[in-house]
Amino acid sequence: MSKTKILIIGRHPEILQTVVRLVNNNPEWECLGVQTDDEAIVAFSAQPFDLVLLGGGIEKQSEEHLCCLFRAHNPNIIIIQHYGGGSGLLTAEIYEGLRGTTLGRPL
């Protein structure tokens, strides 16, 4: 069974590293972590992702721009916000996203 491919964008390098490690620890998931908008755009264009995880520190303008670009490229892409910075919330956030909800509400 193929792994769920996840793109993680976060500005804080050590927190990003932690989140990437935690996600890759799950045998069902495979992720790539990037820090900048340009890296995110290049990565998203280069391979198909199932889900994009937005980490902390991303400016509102960047967030809006990236979401717009991603959805134009793939209208079905799931984009979710990660809270907590490599925290105990990560697993539930991803599972909720894959269910099509965030915090029990439709995305």
**38-75: string of b/e by CB count within 10 Å (b at 16+)?**
eebbebbeeeebbbbbbbbebeeebeeebeeebeeeee
Number of residues that bind another protein (CB under 8 A): 24
Among 27, 88, 100, 106, binds another protein (CB under 8 A): 88
4 binding another protein? (CB under 8 A) = no
47 versus 105: smaller Cβ distance to another protein: 105
The three-point CA angle 25-66-22 to 5° equals 10
How many angstroms from the chain centroid is the CA of residue 7? 5
86 binding another protein? (CB under 8 A) = yes
97 binding another protein? (CB under 8 A) = no
Among 46, 99, 100, 106, binds another protein (CB under 8 A): 99
In the chain, what's the furthest Cα-to-Cα distance? 37
What are the residues binding another protein (CB under 8 A)? 11-12, 14-15, 18, 55-57, 59, 83-89, 91-92, 95-96, 99, 101, 103-104
